[in-house]
Amino acid sequence: MTMDPLLAPTDGTASPFHVAIIMDGNGRWARARGLPRTAGHRQGAEAVRSVVEASPGLGVTHLTLFGFSSENWKRPQGEVGDLLGLLRLYLNNEVRNLEKNNVRLRIIGRRDRFSPDLQALLGDAEARTSANTGLHLTLALNYGARQEMVDTVRTLARAVAQGRLDPEAIDEATVSGALLTHDLPDPDVLIRTSGEQRVSNFLLWQMAYAELIFSPVLWPDFNGKELAAAVEDFQNRERRFGGL
């Protein structure tokens, strides 16, 4: 994929250009319209399609979406069931479009809490799109950044205990290489919709130098036009990475 030079990240690198999004506001969108929360989640799935389709034209090579956090299990059982049902529907209906549009899908997060049939759907979606070379779409499902860090520490500790890793050799690259996102570039920008201004336990290590954009738009109303506006905002910022 060739990136439009006008859209190239301001740190001077042409690629990759990685956008991470916390999709927030489905419930408020539905409540404002007198609709059940499930209607907001369904419209939110339409927003996912719009953003995925718009990303390549904006120079986005990697898109990571926070689909279901490890804290979302605390929601009412009925809503959790609706969310998981919508995920099944998305996987059944959208994987063919991802294949057609050369989008590679990856899942990060703990899958063991999902039902066997959903785990199978996730694995099948990844397998069917694994050879695609266009947009890299990552869905974070049953994901929490602190848990990811705990798991990473355990992995490195086992390697040290087994004599496979010298603790003095552990550096930032070692830690990054043991994360779930080990084969992804760090996000250049994090977008959170709905006006909330927090990162909610999402990619905490990876976002060390990400630009933060807090959009007032509720996720179901977010689309390619809104993404383009966020990209323009990002491109107008100067990224120094601690330098002058």
List, for residues 34-55, the tens digit of each pLDDT value.
999 989 999 999 999 999 999 9
Whether 206 contacts 177, CB under 8 Å: no
- 41 assigned ligand-binding residue: yes
Band of the pLDDT at 170, cuts 50, 70, 90?
very high
- 103 lies in some domain: yes
Q: Residue 212 and residue 151: Cα distance in Å, rounded?
A: 26
Q: Is the pLDDT of residue 244 over 70?
A: no
Domain that holds residue 190: 16-144+186-235
Q: Is residue 88 part of a domain?
A: yes
Residue 153 covered by a domain: no
Q: Is the pLDDT of residue 214 over 50?
A: yes
pTM of the shown model: 0.90
As for how many domains the chain has, the answer is 1
219 is in an annotated binding site: no
Share of the chain above pLDDT 70, in %: 91
Model confidence at 153, in pLDDT bands (50, 70, 90)?
Answer: very high
164: annotated binding-site residue? no
Examine the pLDDT at 174 and tell me if it is beyond 60. yes
CB atoms under 10 Å from CB of 51, counted, come to 24
Q: Is 26 annotated as a binding residue?
A: yes
Quote the DSSP letter at residue 217: S
Is 222 inside a domain boundary? yes
Determine, yes or no, domain membership for 154: no
- Helix/strand/coil for 25: coil
CATH code, domain with 136: 3.40.1180.10
Tens of pLDDT, residue by residue over 75-117, are: 888 889 888 988 998 888 899 999 999 999 999 999 999 999 9
Domain-embedded: residue 136: yes
Catalytic residues: 24, 72
199 annotated as ligand-binding: yes
Residue 191 lies in a domain: yes
Cβ 82 vs Cβ 112: under 8 Å: no
pLDDT at 57: 94
pLDDT of residue 241: 65
Least confident of 74-78, 119-123, 183-187, 221-225: 74-78
Residue 8 lies in a domain: no
